[in-house]
Structure 1
């Protein structure tokens, strides 16, 4: 790490305590604000519940007063209907009043409708009033169309009707308009930017601000509904139904002052923490400004007192390394410790400059010796983990001279893949052993050529027997390796060919003798086949036994019968180089075909004509094939032989057995034709 970076790091560390204090203060303030807001929303929820309780108490008192009316207790329908209608006109927030007997039948109502089949006995509020023998709060009801009241969102409130004998004789119920309730709560208790939610014991929303029309009559989300039956009041943070993140205080069902009603009041987290967020932002900006100022001053001081003197020193060292051995470090006299360091460097440069001149002369002599021997040098510093090679070595490896330093990976990339593991093992063995190294391996130059490299080296060790430096030389030994391989190839090929030739001669002699009727016939046939084999060998010898052209082979076999002015023999086909095994077998086949044509076929009479064509056929579903067409016309009449002679067997065996090809023989009226197909290697 540079001194400038260290100074900047110290400046950053100096601001770190302020950052820690700011963060601690921020966390403490947020925790305190969280507790304050939690307490505030619980109080707000309690206030809402209290207001709802007062509203319900008012309805309760109204029902108690109505319960004392004789027309209601006596179920006097005309008088009762008139009374309920007059009360309804004074309390418009009550959608309807209805008086029910113990069977749930409507005995009177403020609308005056009559429906003998209509029963309310199964309604929860009816059953609760009878069971509790007291005022009951029902659950959300969406409509009263069966009672002829129209569609409303209401909550029913009911009270038992007591007879003169002290027994319950019926129930009086009032349907409160939930929209009126929502407006009342919004005007009385809703805080600015806050929210409130009322729900019945089933979790159905009775009142909701904001957006009441969207949510009244819907189910509470899971985050809220699981708090319906909580044991006590509390607070929580969640995303509200309208997508705003709020802190909520809630009062569960069954807790006063509004029993059977769930109440929650919320305050926006953004609004609640607005002042703290603004203060935190200002504090952070102040700390950031202080940090920028400290870093700037540190950088300026470092630039003036550290970076600039070091630049002068490093520029002088860089010039010296580039070959300017007169370069020196020139600092002002008041540079203090850096001035002492500069003087020590200058003295060292004076000593090294003298040695450098002597070393340069020695290296020039070594370079001339290496160039004369077509060699290059390489080196690797184990302590610095870097290495490279000389310019002459770069030329031997086919690399630009500019890539002669610090290119160990470059060297690995050009070593032949099959040799890299063995090369690395030998280098490692030299480092772990006595330090002597010698190896031969292949490299693939950037132009694609493969060359053989001979390399020798020596590892030097430090006082702790650890490898310190590895130096060596390389030499291009491709020509020597090729000469050795060619010599070894020729010896192997000679042994192989001698064995194959002797086996072929033995087979030809044996088969010719078996098929000959007389010694003279044996002599003529054997000498002809032996001469054809010899001529094929001569053709391969001219090509170093690597390959031979099919056209040259055909010309050699047809030479006695084809002259420049003779148009009886027509050849056509491309240049096709074949390996030795193909040349020998096709040479024997062509000799037999030419011999048969000269004795019995088209070449036996002047009117005969021979057409020989060949081509290389390639397709996607099969490898390349050599197609040969031998066609005789104008010769003597021919017909299939009664028995197959050695020549025919030799042709078929050479094509089908030795070369894995196919042959189709056709006997025409004036000559034979052969269609031969041979897969190419």
Structure 2
């Protein structure tokens, strides 16, 4: 053991070295104890606050650690003396405290055997490991959900596509929409996405000549990750439909998007898009029809994903879409946080 001390100044007193080493133990949150072959204590430094030793009290494993743990440590220390092999034991105290005991037989200068025990507080490490496991399970769960959404998008887009080019154009747009919503969720450390940010990202690429074609009003609720992905997809379908029909966009009219709380306590997101009644406007019906993926998303997929209901209307006056859903933990994160 003496060879492990790399270097020290010969003029350095043993008392100063001891004080420095004790300070280092305090910083490392480690405890060191020495016992003789009869397991009588000779030295204890930096005993964790979990265990107490009253002033003037003679220490022993039973006195310090209690009957159960003290007996277990006694057995490990005697085993270390018999075999010369280091013993290791992790102990959990209460629900959130973990300590690792390293027990080894060392020889003193006079050849007598001694037991050195190092106690390391592992509580913070175990807490981080627990949090990491929870996060990994959450990431795995959300990844599976995301893959299921992508698979559904691919399947439904293929069913309503007339050609490969048509499929690729629609599929890429929908995947891009999904990625934008996912970016907002990731940037918030998986808390979710604020509705106004979600609307901004979904409509920005379709606005013409840097003129706002969309007016957003009402509550800026913090949507849960699942709600953000699905509502973002609904906004994408509505915006693509508006651009392809050239109704409100080309005529310079404004699409109104509003979120309010209904008398029954639900959130209600509405999309109101006026029709372009000019002679050169393309005729109805629009691209979204009862058999299209867009209609499936708006009328079935999104309402089901947020345990809500929807109303979707296209006529000569324009487009109206209303999505109503409960302000539950599954849909809204920290629902009090809106402006």
Is the counterpart of residue 632 in structure 1 residue 273 in structure 2?
Answer: yes
Query: Residues 22 and 46 of structure 2 are in contact (CA less than 8 Å); yes or no, is this contact kept in structure 1?
Result: no
Q: Which residue of 1 aligns with 2:159?
A: 514
- The Cα shift of 1:477 comes to 3.7
Query: Residues 540 and 580 of structure 1 are in contact (CA less than 8 Å); yes or no, is this contact kept in structure 2?
Result: yes
- The Cα shift of 1:432 comes to 4.6
Q: Which residue of 2 aligns with 1:438?
A: 90
Is the counterpart of residue 535 in structure 1 residue 180 in structure 2?
Answer: yes
- The Cα shift of 1:438 comes to 3.0
Query: Residues 371 and 392 of structure 1 are in contact (CA less than 8 Å); yes or no, is this contact kept in structure 2?
Result: no
In structure 2, distance between residues paired with 1:377 and 1:547? 47
Query: Residues 638 and 672 of structure 1 are in contact (CA less than 8 Å); yes or no, is this contact kept in structure 2?
Result: no
Query: Residues 453 and 474 of structure 1 are in contact (CA less than 8 Å); yes or no, is this contact kept in structure 2?
Result: no
- The Cα shift of 1:594 comes to 1.1
Give a deviation string over 1:352-390, Cα, whole Å, max 9, x none.
Answer: xxxxxxxx9998566413322135799xxxxxxxxxxx9
Structure 1 stretch 559-568 or stretch 548-557: which is displaced more? 559-568
- The Cα shift of 1:647 comes to 0.8
Query: Residues 664 and 676 of structure 1 are in contact (CA less than 8 Å); yes or no, is this contact kept in structure 2?
Result: yes
Q: Which residue of 2 aligns with 1:645?
A: 292
Query: Residues 550 and 575 of structure 1 are in contact (CA less than 8 Å); yes or no, is this contact kept in structure 2?
Result: yes
Is the counterpart of residue 662 in structure 1 residue 309 in structure 2?
Answer: yes
Query: Residues 558 and 594 of structure 1 are in contact (CA less than 8 Å); yes or no, is this contact kept in structure 2?
Result: yes
- Alpha carbons of structure 1 residues 545 and 670: separation in structure 2 relative to 1, 3 Å: same
Q: Which residue of 2 aligns with 1:373?
A: 28
- Alpha carbons of structure 1 residues 438 and 522: separation in structure 2 relative to 1, 3 Å: closer
- The Cα shift of 1:428 comes to 6.0
Query: Residues 26 and 46 of structure 2 are in contact (CA less than 8 Å); yes or no, is this contact kept in structure 1?
Result: no
In structure 2, distance between residues paired with 1:391 and 1:433? 21
In structure 2, distance between residues paired with 1:616 and 1:482? 39
Give a deviation string over 1:203-224, Cα, whole Å, max 9, x none.
Answer: xxxxxxxxxxxxxxxxxxxxxx
In structure 1, distance between residues paired with 2:101 and 2:133? 29
- Name the SS for the 2:91 alignment partner: strand
Residues 161-560 of structure 1: pairs in structure 2 closer than 5 A: 364=19, 367-375=22-30, 429-435=68-74, 438-440=90-92, 452-456=96-100, 475=121, 477-478=123-124, 480-481=125-126, 483-485=128-130, 487-560=132-205
In structure 2, distance between residues paired with 1:591 and 1:676? 14
Query: Residues 663 and 675 of structure 1 are in contact (CA less than 8 Å); yes or no, is this contact kept in structure 2?
Result: yes
* CA RMSD after TM alignment: 4.1
In structure 1, distance between residues paired with 2:121 and 2:304? 48
Query: Residues 630 and 673 of structure 1 are in contact (CA less than 8 Å); yes or no, is this contact kept in structure 2?
Result: yes
**Which residue of the other structure, out of 600, 608, 612, is the alignment partner of 2:245?**
600
- The Cα shift of 1:484 comes to 2.7
Structure 1 stretch 551-560 or stretch 492-501: which is displaced more? 492-501
Is the counterpart of residue 591 in structure 1 residue 236 in structure 2?
Answer: yes
- Name the SS for the 1:605 alignment partner: coil
Query: Residues 629 and 675 of structure 1 are in contact (CA less than 8 Å); yes or no, is this contact kept in structure 2?
Result: yes
Structure with more helix by fraction: 1
Q: Which residue of 1 aligns with 2:39?
A: none
- Alpha carbons of structure 1 residues 363 and 625: separation in structure 2 relative to 1, 3 Å: farther
Query: Residues 547 and 578 of structure 1 are in contact (CA less than 8 Å); yes or no, is this contact kept in structure 2?
Result: yes
- The Cα shift of 1:476 comes to 6.5
- The Cα shift of 1:645 comes to 2.0
In structure 1, distance between residues paired with 2:219 and 2:32? 50
- The Cα shift of 1:504 comes to 2.3
- Name the SS for the 1:663 alignment partner: strand
In structure 1, distance between residues paired with 2:196 and 2:94? 37
In structure 1, distance between residues paired with 2:72 and 2:94? 24
Q: Which residue of 1 aligns with 2:80?
A: none
Residues 35-184 of structure 1: pairs in structure 2 closer than 5 A: none
- Alpha carbons of structure 1 residues 361 and 564: separation in structure 2 relative to 1, 3 Å: farther
Q: Which residue of 2 aligns with 1:384?
A: none
Is the counterpart of residue 675 in structure 1 residue 319 in structure 2?
Answer: no
- The Cα shift of 1:557 comes to 0.4
Query: Residues 553 and 583 of structure 1 are in contact (CA less than 8 Å); yes or no, is this contact kept in structure 2?
Result: yes
Indicate the structure whose relative CO is greater, using CA pairs within 8 Å and at least 6 residues apart.
2
In structure 2, distance between residues paired with 1:377 and 1:668? 81
- The Cα shift of 1:555 comes to 1.0
- Name the SS for the 1:635 alignment partner: coil
For structure 2, which runs of at least 5 residues remain unmatched after alignment?
A: 1-14, 34-44, 55-64, 77-88, 104-116, 278-282, 330-339
In structure 2, distance between residues paired with 1:606 and 1:364? 82
- Name the SS for the 1:593 alignment partner: helix
- Alpha carbons of structure 1 residues 554 and 665: separation in structure 2 relative to 1, 3 Å: same
Q: Number of paired residues? A: 261
- Name the SS for the 1:677 alignment partner: strand
- Name the SS for the 1:606 alignment partner: coil
Query: Residues 100 and 120 of structure 2 are in contact (CA less than 8 Å); yes or no, is this contact kept in structure 1?
Result: yes
- The Cα shift of 1:559 comes to 0.8
Work out which of the two has the higher radius of gyration on C-alpha atoms and give 1 or 2.
1
Query: Residues 589 and 654 of structure 1 are in contact (CA less than 8 Å); yes or no, is this contact kept in structure 2?
Result: no
- The Cα shift of 1:598 comes to 1.6
